[in-house]
Amino acid sequence: MRTPMIAGNWKLHKTLAESSALVRELMPAVAANQVVEIVVAPVFTALDKVAEAIAGSNIKLAAQNCYSQPQGAFTGEVSPPLLKDVGCQYVIIGHSERRQLFGESDELINSKAHALAKTGLGSILCIGETLDEREADQMFDVLRRQVRLGLKNLSAEQMAGVVIAYEPVWAIGTGKTASDAQAQEAHAFIRALLTELYDKPTANATRILYGGSVKPDNVDNLMSQPDVDGALVGGASLKAEDFARIVNFQTTT
């Protein structure tokens, strides 16, 4: 059985005080949940403060990005060893906003995956097609490319530290959500691709999250799909009540 993961990507939101207040409100609302791996990803400047606030709780810390080198003359970057030092257990890589707004390539994202594996941190590797790509029947080609290149030369053993997040770009922050059937179709395709790239045990053990306007009123149906192992939550993770309801989802099957 794959342990469900619900991860909150706070993006560029929340001051130090607001970040602390959010997790302090969240903690009692999810404290009884021992079946879901709960992760929050604040801005870089709030990582230390949030790590301090969640110490001893069932909430884990993630960063929203990293660089592929451990140190050096890379002004403005943050390395995996530094993120591990501050208390992170996961790092989000390949988010569509990084790909689209900052021009990150599959090759760069792959280098980050290797750097995280070497550091002992988990990767949450984001993949997903745009609306134009879906309407042009290119969805499977895009997902195949992003998975193959993003995981290039990662071993089956290293895949134990990788979580994949399928986020159709057209559903991120738009209020639109892939239907349950659309999400399951994409997730099943990704799992089949992992079987081709690795083997069936590795594919069956890899968690595949859905992301894209996940909310309290749609999480139950999404989590009822056999290949949906969790959610990468954006806007709804900024409200403790909403995120707690997503964490405490109830499957409908």
Catalytic site positions: 95, 167
Joined together, the tokens standing for residue 106 give 């599959």
CA 118-122-128 angle, 5° bins = 115
| Residue 23 burial (C-beta neighbours within 10 Å; 0-12, 13-18, 19+) | buried
**Amino acid letter at 137?**
D
Query: How far apart are alpha carbons 164 and 180 in whole angstroms?
Result: 18
Of all helices (H) and strands (E), which one includes residue 107? helix 106-119
DSSP notation for 132-151: HHHHTT-HHHHHHHHHHHHT
Number of helical (H) and strand (E) elements in the chain, helices listed first: 11, 8
Residue in 220, 211, 164, 169 with CA at minimum distance from that of residue 192 = 164
Cα 45 versus chain centre, distance: 19
Residues β-bridged to residue 6: 38, 231
